[in-house]
Amino acid sequence: MTNNVKPDQTKAMTGPMVSRKYDVMHIVLRLVSLSASLISVAVMTTAKERSTVSIYGFELPLHSKWSFSGSFLYLVCVSAIVAFHSLLQLVMTSSRMLKKSSVFSSRKHAWIIFACDQVFAYAMMSAVSAATGVTNLNRTGFKHPPLPNFCKPLHSFCDRVGVSIAFAFFNCFMLAISAVLDVVWLAN
């Protein structure tokens, strides 16, 4: 039995289906990105702890809060901006999908979203790198002068910061995958 469908007809039949799968993937990525950003912000903004540390035989009180570090503030701000961007894209994509139109209204729109996804992915990577540096210093302590590992007495604080950084790092990948999907859309 031969198939009498011409290649142009096959493309026309699979085009809308492929477009809908792309639209659904775009919505899922935005939803995951929004969730990762919100979790990162929520976990980081609740990171605080009080304890004591012994330095040269003296017991010193410690109080650590996420807002004491510029790197953690930077991570929270970038994560909040990415959450807003993801929410905005999620609403726009969902409304366009409900109207049964493409995620992007034009190639120019697709390029703008691609550029935004790239900028936010790089900003998120920058924030994660800055926060990771501070967290690593807290975990290993200072070599010169020999100061203690602050994460031993402040383990809950450091764990919360680590979870926040992990979700922010995961969000970098979500934004990168979204940018790749934008490129795939632009290539068609």
Tell me which residue range forms the domain holding 128: 18-187
Task: Provide the greatest CA pair distance for the chain.
Answer: 89
The answer as to whether 169 is a domain residue is yes
Round to whole Å and give the CA distance between 17 and 22.
Answer: 9
103-136 tens-digit pLDDT: 777 788 889 989 999 999 999 999 999 888 877 6
Q: Count of domains in the chain?
A: 1
85-96 tens-digit pLDDT: 999 999 988 888
The answer as to whether 112 is a domain residue is yes
The answer as to whether 12 is a domain residue is no
pLDDT of 144 > 90? The answer is no
